[in-house]
Amino acid sequence: MNMNFRTAFRPLVLVLCAGSALGAACSSGPASAANGSEMTVSYQDLNLANQADVRVLYRRLKAAAGDVCGNVPSQELARHLAFERCYNAALERAVTQIDLPQLQAMYQSETAAPTKRG
């Protein structure tokens, strides 16, 4: 594929339900945008044909998912578990929305072997 990834992809908006931090399930579609938190993740400055830039994008997506879901200390177990569900759903949705094989492979390798985010 000979595509200029720098201009081919627009900024991504992560949309989550307002109740995600409390464990509410997110729904897809326009209703979730009206009721949820969102964050734009820009990657127009990245060349997604370059693996290093794909890693930069993945770190941005992880940071945005953490911010939007309201990172909760692990000492508050119930709220932290709700945060983890929200975070995982947001990250999966973002990776799926971008639909870039290298990014999907990065996500799958991380979710297959649980590691500390960061």
Contacts of 10 (CB under 8 A, 6+ apart): 44
- 6 has pLDDT over 70: no
Across 15-27, b (16+ Cβ under 10 Å) vs e yields bbbeebbeebebe
Rounded distance between C-alpha atoms, residue 41 and residue 53, angstroms: 14
Of 13-22, 41-50, 108-117, highest mean pLDDT: 41-50
Residue 102: what pLDDT? 96
- List, as one string, the DSSP characters of 47-69: -TTSHHHHHHHHHHHHHHHHHHH
Q: pTM higher than 0.75 for the full model?
A: no
Instruction: Give 54-110 pLDDT, tens digit per residue.
Output: 999 999 999 998 888 887 777 888 888 888 998 999 899 899 989 899 999 999 999
Contacts of 77 (CB under 8 A, 6+ apart): none
Mean pLDDT of the chain: 74
Which residue is it, tokens 């998912």?
65
